[in-house]
Amino acid sequence: MSDGNATQPIELLTFKLGDQEYSLDIMSVREIRGWTRATPMPLAPSFMRGVINLRGTVLPVIDLAERLGLPKCGQSSRNVIIVVKHGGQMTGLLVDAVSDIVSLDANDMQVPPDSGGYDGLNVIRSLTVIDDRMIRVLDLALVVAQSQSDAA
């Protein structure tokens, strides 16, 4: 017998940008790679670190911290590139460190307050609290799509 109000759990990959924690829907993550030097591209926005070759596929790498208006990610062995797929396009997101994979109920998510973000866009889809830590859930569509239009 099933409960008609039951919701599917949501799995999130949590990661750090500086001292802040963010997350992405695990279904968009294809792999996590150690820091790989990216080849810079001319006239690219400052948050575009360049491109890398991932087994024959060239994909852009975005410094996610800078993309979100935070201080740039460093370049150390702790940095990782989260390879995500959105709208058929693979993109690398440079972050400071991956933290965990968590499973939450949709009821654990809260709508963020309107922060008057960039051009009215708020890249935070929802907020949740895990062990007294506020985790921001990114709207990958807005992060990647806006990045692609800025790079064009």
pLDDT (tens digit per residue) in 74-133: 777 789 999 999 988 999 999 999 999 999 998 999 998 876 655 545 889 999 998 899
Residue ranges making up the domain that contains 116: 10-143
Determine, yes or no, domain membership for 5: no
Please determine, for residue 139, whether its predicted confidence score (pLDDT) is greater than 60. yes
Determine, yes or no, domain membership for 33: yes
Determine, yes or no, domain membership for 50: yes
Determine, yes or no, domain membership for 128: yes
Determine, yes or no, domain membership for 103: yes
Please determine, for residue 150, whether its predicted confidence score (pLDDT) is greater than 60. no
Residues in the chain: 152
CATH number, domain of 77, equals 2.40.50.180
Determine, yes or no, domain membership for 120: yes
Per the structure, the count of domains in the chain is: 1
Determine, yes or no, domain membership for 3: no
Q: For residues 51 and 62, is the Cβ–Cβ distance under 8 A?
A: no
Determine, yes or no, domain membership for 43: yes
What is the rounded average pLDDT for all residues in the chain?
87
Please determine, for residue 26, whether its predicted confidence score (pLDDT) is greater than 80. yes
Please determine, for residue 1, whether its predicted confidence score (pLDDT) is greater than 50. no
For the whole model, what pTM was predicted? 0.86
Residue 148 CA: distances (Å) to CA of 25, 87, 105, 107, 135: 20, 12, 31, 32, 25
